[in-house]
Amino acid sequence: MKKINIIIADDHLMFLEGINTILIDMEEIAEVHLATEGNQVIRLLNQFDIGLIISDISMPKMDGIELLTEIKKKHNGVKIIMLSMLDNHRTVHKVIQKGADGFVPKFTSKEELQKAVRTVLGNEQYFSDIIKQRYMESVFERKKYKNIELSPREKEVLALLAEELTSKEISKKLFISVNTVETHRKNILLKTGSKTTTGAVKYAIESGLFD
């Protein structure tokens, strides 16, 4: 069996060292490199022959989802397992859609983490039961919005409303009149069944519009 080099990324040193202790003696693993943020992972990838990355989602400068996107774009042969205390369905859906090879919560057992590593190294995906459950919740959530369609311009306006821009600021940014912005805003509220802009933004997040 060919052994592989791995990177473990987490901004909490105690947790990082704990994961290292769990994995370092696995017969499948040659060297373990530790990183505390995403940019450091990218540098290690360029220095060493890495086969697997185990990364937290919440990290400074470049979070785990940004890192996942970068790796799948430029280092597609490298496997990546995501770890997180977050298991809400929107986060899970985004991680899976971005192409993660595995996803387990941080409170998982030593045995499950090792199983996840072996499964992914065997060219299969591994998602904990709770992750699978959250993913199904996200699919169900999005189905509720399947028949609601916003125009490209309405999506632009809604994205800017989510950034808390005023109608006047949006009109300048999109080179349209304030009245046109207000018309789009009213149409967005009507289509999404929302009473306020906040409700419409919530719709956008739950439907995956901003993913």
Q: In the chain, where are the structural domains located?
A: 4-142, 152-207
152-207 CATH fold: Arc Repressor Mutant, subunit A (1.10.10)
Q: What is the mean pLDDT of residues 70-76?
A: 88
Q: What is the mean pLDDT of residues 147-152?
A: 75
Coil/strand/helix, residue 21? helix
Give me the residue label for tokens 């039961």. 129
- Please check the confidence at residue 15 and state whether its pLDDT lies above 60: yes
> How far apart are the C-alpha atoms of 198 and 164, rounded to whole Å?
10
4-142 CATH fold: Rossmann fold (3.40.50)
pLDDT band, residue 144 (cuts 50/70/90): low
Coil/strand/helix, residue 12? coil
Q: Do domains 4-142 and 152-207 have the same CATH topology?
A: no
Computed from CA positions of residues 162, 165, 171, 174, in that sequence, does the dihedral angle turn out positive or negative?
A: negative
4 contacts 51 by C-beta, under 8 angstroms: yes
Q: What is the mean pLDDT of residues 140-169?
A: 79
List the alpha helices (DSSP H) in the chain. 13-23, 38-47, 64-74, 89-97, 110-121, 129-143, 152-162, 167-174, 178-192, 197-207
> How far apart are the C-alpha atoms of 59 and 67, rounded to whole Å?
10
- Please check the confidence at residue 170 and state whether its pLDDT lies above 60: yes
